[in-house]
């Protein structure tokens, strides 16, 4: 089984690209959704996060994403602490998920693939890239939040150029790029990987 990591900065369109991979028959594991599921279901993680953040992270079965995000994006040290708690469990869950997949190629989507060392769990890394202003506009519209908050989140992530330099493949998703264009690129990547 060949494992692909899909990453990119906020607003780059990595989730859109991951969905297109799934449409092309490549099962895709969403690290963000898995992390939220683990935080909701694992009492030990909830206790650890409460001690770290200072308030309960789950209230009546609802995850307090705002409190977690505020703490997470406040500093690189805070992000490292949360990721150190949650991501070992995400990796374990990903490996279990892979074990039941029938496809010769699977994918993992993660915004912080490099930051958490998740590139070590995959064979190839694809970075979805777009100009900063395009990413900013998309994220502000999608999240219904301020430009300042999105810029803070962008600045807390690894620089896009650094991600691109470490990628095996890059999918450009700027203005004017169509779904058909991206599907064509995905097809080329899948064929290239399977021929290796």
pLDDT in tens, the chain (196 residues): 999 999 999 999 999 999 999 999 999 999 999 998 998 888 888 888 888 888 888 887 788 888 888 888 787 788 888 888 898 999 999 999 999 999 999 999 998 899 888 899 999 999 999 999 999 999 999 988 888 888 888 887 889 999 999 999 999 999 889 999 999 999 999 999 988 6
The pLDDT score that the predictor gives to residue 196 is: 65
**What is the four-CA torsion angle of 179, 139, 35, 162, rounded to 10 degrees?**
80
The pLDDT score that the predictor gives to residue 130 is: 94
The pLDDT score that the predictor gives to residue 61 is: 79
List phi, psi (to 5°) of 9. Answer: -70, 170
- Structure token pair of residue 1: 């089984």
58, 90, 118, 143, 178 from 66: Cα distances, Å = 11, 20, 24, 12, 33
The pLDDT score that the predictor gives to residue 193 is: 92
Q: pTM above 0.85? A: yes
The pLDDT score that the predictor gives to residue 190 is: 94
């Amino acid at each position: 089984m060949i494992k692909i990591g899909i990453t990119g900065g906020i607003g780059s369109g990595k989730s859109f690209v991951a969905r297109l991979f799934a449409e092309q028959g490549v099962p895709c594991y969403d690290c963000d959704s898995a992390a939220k599921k683990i935080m909701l279901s694992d009492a030990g993680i909830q206790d650890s996060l409460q001690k770290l953040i200072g308030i309960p992270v789950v209230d009546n079965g609802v995850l307090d994403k705002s409190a977690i995000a505020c703490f997470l994006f406040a500093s690189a040290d805070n992000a490292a602490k949360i990721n150190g708690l949650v991501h070992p469990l995400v990796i374990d869950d990903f490996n279990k998920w892979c074990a039941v997949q029938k496809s010769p190629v699977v994918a993992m989507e993660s915004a912080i693939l490099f930051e958490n060392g998740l590139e070590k769990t995959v064979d190839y890394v694809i970075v979805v890239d777009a100009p900063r202003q395009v990413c900013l506009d998309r994220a502000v519209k999608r999240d219904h939040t301020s430009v300042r908050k999105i810029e803070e989140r962008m600045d807390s992530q690894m620089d896009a150029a650094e991600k691109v330099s470490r990628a095996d493949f890059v999918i450009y998703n700027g203005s004017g790029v169509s779904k058909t264009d991206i599907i064509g690129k995905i097809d080329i990547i899948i064929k290239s990987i399977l021929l290796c």
